[in-house]
């Protein structure tokens, strides 16, 4: 196959052909089966490197008002919004040793949020905190999570280093029995689940992985006791060390430039290159972001959400790579508002997509001095096929003498790991340290994975109830037969690249449900008819993007190239429109979800 020069104009036919070629050489028949769970297969990779959570404590047998499963931003926001509604006892149960979720676990070097901090960090209006950088480092985000938890007094009742193992509805007391892996069996009047979507690290099933004698870890459990340093760098433990890193997704793109500063040599094992757009991180002032009046953060967040969800917004306040390419996100987000369709629209979409991807391929050529390396770093797929990434340091790292790009596209990744290193084709790379930036299993945590069994009214198992027709909810939050159980996450709800915004709207809604149930001495439980009606809304205008993802390079968006399931999983008319729908429903119709409860 001849390589095509990205900087030259390219006809769409040739581009489609190139994309097909690149996809086909990457699709593996084993699809998602190529991975293994870090937790199940190699407990070592999933262990908490930050705290020793094994210290004994007395199991709890008490009763709280609200139990929240998960202490990431979703759980913290649920707790905070419950407090604002006057709920007294909120107990958050979290596997990690503190609050933060994603930001607790992920502390790899270079970690930043690639969504603007002023719209990503929740509750800025409420906490008075104004981030100083357009894109915040991970530690600042983690500290903010803890700030919210402190402000809303969520620490005293929290259980850390603890996983909920089952939820069982107790009809007699009208409460949930919450069991954990630390022997707790306490009751909660309401349960909120917020267990995250990308929370379980995964490892490639590379033959021989268990034989490697050097040091090894997953990026979401960065071992600073070995590397030295901090997320800012200074990893003196790596001087004189040959380090391999597998994976060039959003994590790899952020970690590799920092790793290159300290390791003797870095081998980057790439299978599919990311698209890497301009970052332009910079210090900002309160004036820059309009933080001079109450509600400034809410307005900015709302503005961003509208733009990246295809809704009308007027001025673009954030004005970054996400908003500039918002039109190309349509195929990525099931909530994206689309009032255009048909052949003419798709043709214009494809042309705009090609122009953007050409621009990004040209960026590689202009940034990487070795033409062969530059060629390998070019992304050959449509913009929405893989999560876009942003960095001004990534490509420059490949101009260093101590960084080598090892292209593993033709061998479907590293072929074999030995005691001493990694084998790709005829080459063996001897390594002292092998780091997996290989991402997370999708949809394996929480209720839908079956790892958190939920038994509702009359002993009904939630997953059995959903087995025939798939999950059924009202607005994604609650289900018939499972009173006072509120789901947060990406089920039948809004989707956005700014997930904390979606979570905060969900937290507000969850707290309003609890407040309404409390004031009416009622249970939160939709009727089967209300669920039917909501499922019909979800299905009616759901976009079918199956064909688009079928042509994409493999990844977790399309089940590793084998097809994208369940496109009807989010409200199809825009995330902001969904939030308005919820608000109106809370004002006018919340009573529909309440059922009288027997006297407690």
**Which residues contribute to the site for ligand NDP (CB under 6 A)?**
26, 112-115, 198, 204, 206, 246-252, 269, 271-272, 387, 408, 413-414, 437-440, 554-556
Report helix angle 296-308 to 575-588, nearest 10.
120
State the nearest-atom distance from the C-beta of 111 to ligand NDP, in Å.
7
Q: Pick between residue 148 and residue 206 the one whose CB is nearest to ligand NDP.
A: 206
3-state secondary structure 261-326: HHCCEEEEEECCCCCEECCCCCECCCCCCCCCCCCHHHHHHHHHHHHHCCCCCCCCCCCCHHHHCH
State the nearest-atom distance from the C-beta of 559 to ligand NDP, in Å.
12
Q: Pick between residue 193 and residue 197 the one whose CB is nearest to ligand NDP.
A: 197
State the nearest-atom distance from the C-beta of 202 to ligand NDP, in Å.
8
Q: Pick between residue 318 and residue 513 the one whose CB is nearest to ligand NDP.
A: 318
State the nearest-atom distance from the C-beta of 38 to ligand NDP, in Å.
12
Q: Pick between residue 413 and residue 526 the one whose CB is nearest to ligand NDP.
A: 413
Q: In angstroms, rounded to a whole number, what is the distance separating the alpha carbons of residues 167 and 479? A: 14
State the nearest-atom distance from the C-beta of 110 to ligand NDP, in Å.
10
Question: Per the structure block, which two tokens stand in for 95?
Answer: 């596997």
CA-wise closest residue to 481 among 531, 437, 439: 531
State the nearest-atom distance from the C-beta of 36 to ligand NDP, in Å.
11
Contact predicate 471/492, CB 8 Å? yes
The DSSP code for 81 is: H
Q: In angstroms, rounded to a whole number, what is the distance separating the alpha carbons of residues 65 and 61? A: 14
The dihedral through the CA atoms of 518, 524, 530, 536 has a sign that is: positive
Phi (first) and psi of residue 13, to 5 degrees: -60, -45
State the nearest-atom distance from the C-beta of 26 to ligand NDP, in Å.
6
Element holding 256 (H helix, E strand) = helix 250-262
Q: Pick between residue 456 and residue 554 the one whose CB is nearest to ligand NDP.
A: 554
Q: Pick between residue 475 and residue 501 the one whose CB is nearest to ligand NDP.
A: 501
Contact predicate 112/139, CB 8 Å? no
Q: Pick between residue 246 and residue 485 the one whose CB is nearest to ligand NDP.
A: 246
State the nearest-atom distance from the C-beta of 13 to ligand NDP, in Å.
25
Pairing of strands 522-524, 594-596: antiparallel
Q: Pick between residue 137 and residue 476 the one whose CB is nearest to ligand NDP.
A: 137
State the nearest-atom distance from the C-beta of 240 to ligand NDP, in Å.
25
CA-wise closest residue to 219 among 202, 242, 196: 202
Q: Pick between residue 114 and residue 277 the one whose CB is nearest to ligand NDP.
A: 114
Q: Please name every residue paired with 302 in a beta bridge, in sequence order, or none if there are none.
A: none
Q: How many CB atoms lie within 10 A of CB 299?
A: 14
Contact predicate 238/433, CB 8 Å? yes
State the nearest-atom distance from the C-beta of 35 to ligand NDP, in Å.
7
CA-wise closest residue to 68 among 81, 84, 55: 81
Question: Per the structure block, which two tokens stand in for 37?
Answer: 């769970």
Q: Pick between residue 27 and residue 463 the one whose CB is nearest to ligand NDP.
A: 27
């Amino acid at each position: 196959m001849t390589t095509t020069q990205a900087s030259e104009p390219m006809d769409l036919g040739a581009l489609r052909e190139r994309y097909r070629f690149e996809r086909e050489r990457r699709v593996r028949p084993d699809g998602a089966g190529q991975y293994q769970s870090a937790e199940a297969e190699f407990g070592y990779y999933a262990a908490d490197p930050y705290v020793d959570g094994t210290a004994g404590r007395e199991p709890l047998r008490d009763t709280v008002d609200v139990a929240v499963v998960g202490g990431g931003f979703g759980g913290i926001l649920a707790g905070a919004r419950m407090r604002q509604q006057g709920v007294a006892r909120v107990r958050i149960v979290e596997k990690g040793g503190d609050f933060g979720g994603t930001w607790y676990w992920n502390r790899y070097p270079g970690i930043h949020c690639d969504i603007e901090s002023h719209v990503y960090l929740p509750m800025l209006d409420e906490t008075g905190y104004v981030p100083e950088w357009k894109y915040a480092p991970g530690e600042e985000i983690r500290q903010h999570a803890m700030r919210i938890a402190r402000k809303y007094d969520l620490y005293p009742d929290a259980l850390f280093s603890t996983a909920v193992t089952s939820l069982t509805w107790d009809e007699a007391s009208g409460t949930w029995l919450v069991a954990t892996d630390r022997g707790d069996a306490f009751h909660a009047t309401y349960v909120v689940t917020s267990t995250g979507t990308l929370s379980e690290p995964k490892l490639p099933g590379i033959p021989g992985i268990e034989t490697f004698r050097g040091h090894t870890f997953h990026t979401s459990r960065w071992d600073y006791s070995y590397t030295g340093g901090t997320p800012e760098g200074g990893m003196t433990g790596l001087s004189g060390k040959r380090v391999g890193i597998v994976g060039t997704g959003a994590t790899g793109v952020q970690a590799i430039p920092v790793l290159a500063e300290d390791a003797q040599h870095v081998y980057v094992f790439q299978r599919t290159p990311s698209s890497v757009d301009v970052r332009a991180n910079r210090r900002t002032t309160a004036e820059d972001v309009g933080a001079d009046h109450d509600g400034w953060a809410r307005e900015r967040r709302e503005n961003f959400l509208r733009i990246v969800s295809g809704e009308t917004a007027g001025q673009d306040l954030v004005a970054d790579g996400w908003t500039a390419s918002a039109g190309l996100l349509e195929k990525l987000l099931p909530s994206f508002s689309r009032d255009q369709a048909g052949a003419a629209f798709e043709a214009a979409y494809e042309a705009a997509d090609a122009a953007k991807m050409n621009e990004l391929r040209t960026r590689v050529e202009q940034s990487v001095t070795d033409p062969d390396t530059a060629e390998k770093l070019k992304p050959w797929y449509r913009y929405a096929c893989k999560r876009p990434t942003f960095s001004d340091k990534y490509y420059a790292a490949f101009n260093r003498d101590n960084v080598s790009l090892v292209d593993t596209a033709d061998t479907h990744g590293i072929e074999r790991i030995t005691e001493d290193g990694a084998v790709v084709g005829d080459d063996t790379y001897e390594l002292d340290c092998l780091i997996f930036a290989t991402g997370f299993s999708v949809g394996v945590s929480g209720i839908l994975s079956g790892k958190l069994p939920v038994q509702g009214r009359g002993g009904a198992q939630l997953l059995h109830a959903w087995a025939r027709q798939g999950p059924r909810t009202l607005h994604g939050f609650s289900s018939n037969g499972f009173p006072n159980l509120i789901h947060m996450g990406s089920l039948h709800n809004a989707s956005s690249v700014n997930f904390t915004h979606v979570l905060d709207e969900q937290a507000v809604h969850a707290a309003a449900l609890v407040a309404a149930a409390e004031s009416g001495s009622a249970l939160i439980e939709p009727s089967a008819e209300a669920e039917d009606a909501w499922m019909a809304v979800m299905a009616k205008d759901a976009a079918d993007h199956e064909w688009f993802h079928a042509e994409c390079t493999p990844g977790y968006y399309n089940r590793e190239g084998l097809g994208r399931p369940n496109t009807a999983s989010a409200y199809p008319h825009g995330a902001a429109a969904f939030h308005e729908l919820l608000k109106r429903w809370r004002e006018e119709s919340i009573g529909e979800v309440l059922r009288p409860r027997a006297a407690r």
